[in-house]
Structures are given as structure tokens and as C-alpha cells.
Chains A and B, each alone.
Chain A
Amino acid sequence: MIVILLLLLSRTDELYIMSANTLDPNKWVDRYSDYLFNYTIVRVNNREVANDLISETFLAALKSAKNFKGEASERTWLISILKRKIIDYYRKINSRKGKAEVKLNYSDDYNEGEWLEEQVADQFDRTAEDEMENTELGLAILECLDSINEKHAEIFKRKTIDGADTEAICNEFNITPSNLWVIIHRARTALAACLEKNWF
């Protein structure tokens, strides 16, 4: 019994080191594209641009793969490259326009009241903050999905995020509906546990 436990422990250790410190470019798209996509979309607010930036990120990552020291996880490393790309993108569009200025008119003719009370933020209007929290929640969910079984995560994503039919997924992955529900159940349980740990 103890021997089996030790064997299991050593295996998980090995797996952990493998996934944390080496690069596996052929798995990048399956593992990280959803995360990178959601990360970019809230920052550039344009699907086409987001797609281009992610594509550039992957290529840049491949080019500098030999500089990867294995200190950070693969995802953190890719995100750091993506961040640079997003900053570059904003620099580029700003220089193209020649100016990066934000105009704020606090007292124009259209706004009737200039009283201080009317300019205080409405504390019941929390939509912007909620939105931000929700995108962060989305990223946290995707991050948690990374830590569970890869196949289960993929099936769960197809079912929950893409909203695909049970039948279609069963055909795609060649499983029976009861298999599917067992996988969904495991994924949901693991996800709930992970979110409870990391989100609340």
C-alpha cells in the first residue's frame, strides 16, 4: 500500500516538473488559446486584433524558445510575451494617429448640473466594476480548467462554453452519453473545488 502511494507521489512529482519547466509548442493551442483569447479580448476589445496578437505571440514564443529558462510556467511565459505584444499594439496605433490624448470635458453645455454632488460616482452603478470582475472570473475558470485532466477539460469546455449538443460531443470524442455525464461530473467537481480555493 505504502509502496503504491510512494510510486504515485513520485509520478505526480515528475509530471509537475515536466509541465512546469519544459515547452511543448504543439500543445500550446489546445492548452492556452482560450485563455490567451479571453485575456486579449478584454484588453484590445477587437476580435481580429486579438487573433493577430495571439498569432504573433505564438511565433515570437517559438523564436525565443531557447531563452526559456523554465523558471516560470509555460502559461506565465506566454502571457508575458503577449503583454509585450499588446503594449506594442497600443504604441503603434498611437504613433499612427500622432497623438494620444484623452479629452475630458467636465463642464460642457450639455451637462446641466455641475454641482459636485452630481459628479460623484453613483454607488449603485457598479456595472463597470462587475464587468471587470467577471472577466477575471472567466480567466480564473480557464486557469482552473488547466489543472484538471486535459481530456475532461476539453469535453467540459465543448459542453459548457461552446454549448455543443450531448450527441455531437459523443460522436466527436467517441464516447457514450453516460461516459460524457461522468466526465462532466468529475470536471465540475474539480472545477468547483479549484474555484473555491482560488476565487473566494
Chain B
Amino acid sequence: MSKKSKFFFIDCSEAADCCNKAQYEEANFLDKAKLYIHLILCKTCRKFSQRNSKLTDLLDKSKIEPCPEEKKQQWREEIKKEFAEERT
């Protein structure tokens, strides 16, 4: 494959990488262009891409709230302290 065509025709693992980045809005224009060219040609990646965007939709929809980090730290310490006391 010539250099030029290699530039536009990427393999599946690279396409998956671009697809994942696109889910986090971290793919640049070139990445996206390459991904779309690959998606036209590759059925497996089309399926993967659909599944991946569906997962992103579900994650957005679920609105999981992260537990605040300072609370976690506090609980960690509490448990550590209590656990040590229980053992003695």
C-alpha cells in the first residue's frame, strides 16, 4: 500500500481508537474523516461504532453521579480506624 493510501485507509484497531476518542469529543477532524472512510468499507467496525455510540447514549442517559472524593477519603479513614479497633 502506498504511503498516501495508508494515510487515508486505516486498519480496524486504529479505527476503534478514533471511534473511542470520538465518544469523548477528543477526535480531531482528520481522525473523524479517517474513521468515516473506514466505516464505509468495514462492516464489523460499523457495528462496533453503533454499539459504542449506543453505550455513550446510555451513559449520558443514566446520569450517574460521582460520589464526592473528599467524602470517600473520609469514609476510608473512618473504616480504617474502626477496622483497626475491631481487631484489637
Residue positions of A touching B, CB distance < 8 A: 25-26, 28-30, 33-34, 36-38, 41, 51, 54-55, 58-59, 62-63, 65, 134-135, 137-138, 141-142, 157, 159-162, 166, 181, 184-185, 188, 191-192, 195, 199
B72 and A33 contacting across the interface, CB-CB below 8 Å = yes
**Prevailing SS type, chain B contact patch:** helix
Contact with A along B57-73 (1 / 0, CB 8 A): 01101111111100110
Q: How far is the CB of B58 from chain A (nearest CB, A)?
A: 6
A160 to B, closest residue via Cβ: B59
Q: How far is the CB of A82 from chain B (nearest CB, A)?
A: 13
Q: How far is the CB of A200 from chain B (nearest CB, A)?
A: 10
Q: How far is the CB of B24 from chain A (nearest CB, A)?
A: 7
What CA separation (Å) do A36 and B79 show in the bound complex? 15
**Prevailing SS type, chain A contact patch:** helix
List of B residues within 8 angstroms of A141 by Cβ = 58-59, 62, 64
B64 and A59 contacting across the interface, CB-CB below 8 Å = no
Contact with A along B23-41 (1 / 0, CB 8 A): 1101000000000000000
Q: Which of B24, B59, B68, B86 contacts A62 (CB 8 A)?
A: B86
Question: Residue B55 at the A interface, CB < 8 A?
Answer: yes
A181 and B66 contacting across the interface, CB-CB below 8 Å = no
B75 and A29 contacting across the interface, CB-CB below 8 Å = yes
Contact with A along B15-53 (1 / 0, CB 8 A): 011001101101000000000000000000000000110
What CA separation (Å) do A157 and B69 show in the bound complex? 13
Interface size for B (C-beta < 8 A) is 32
What CA separation (Å) do A63 and B64 show in the bound complex? 30
Residue positions of B touching A, CB distance < 8 A: 16-17, 20-21, 23-24, 26, 51-52, 54-55, 58-59, 61-68, 71-72, 74-76, 78-80, 82-83, 86
Q: How far is the CB of A9 from chain B (nearest CB, A)?
A: 29
Given A26-B79, A38-B64: A188 touches B58 (CB 8 Å cut-off) = no
Q: A34-B64, A141-B64 are in contact. List 4 more A-B contacts (CB 8 A).
A: A29-B72, A65-B86, A181-B20, A185-B20
B67 and A37 contacting across the interface, CB-CB below 8 Å = yes
A178 to B, closest residue via Cβ: B17
B59 and A41 contacting across the interface, CB-CB below 8 Å = no
What CA separation (Å) do A25 and B76 show in the bound complex? 9
Given A37-B67, A134-B63, A138-B64: A181 touches B79 (CB 8 Å cut-off) = no
What CA separation (Å) do A138 and B61 show in the bound complex? 8
19 A-B pairs whose Cβ atoms sit less than 8 Å apart in the complex: A26-B83, A36-B67, A37-B66, A38-B65, A51-B68, A54-B75, A62-B82, A135-B63, A137-B61, A138-B64, A141-B59, A141-B64, A161-B59, A161-B64, A166-B24, A185-B16, A188-B23, A188-B52, A192-B55
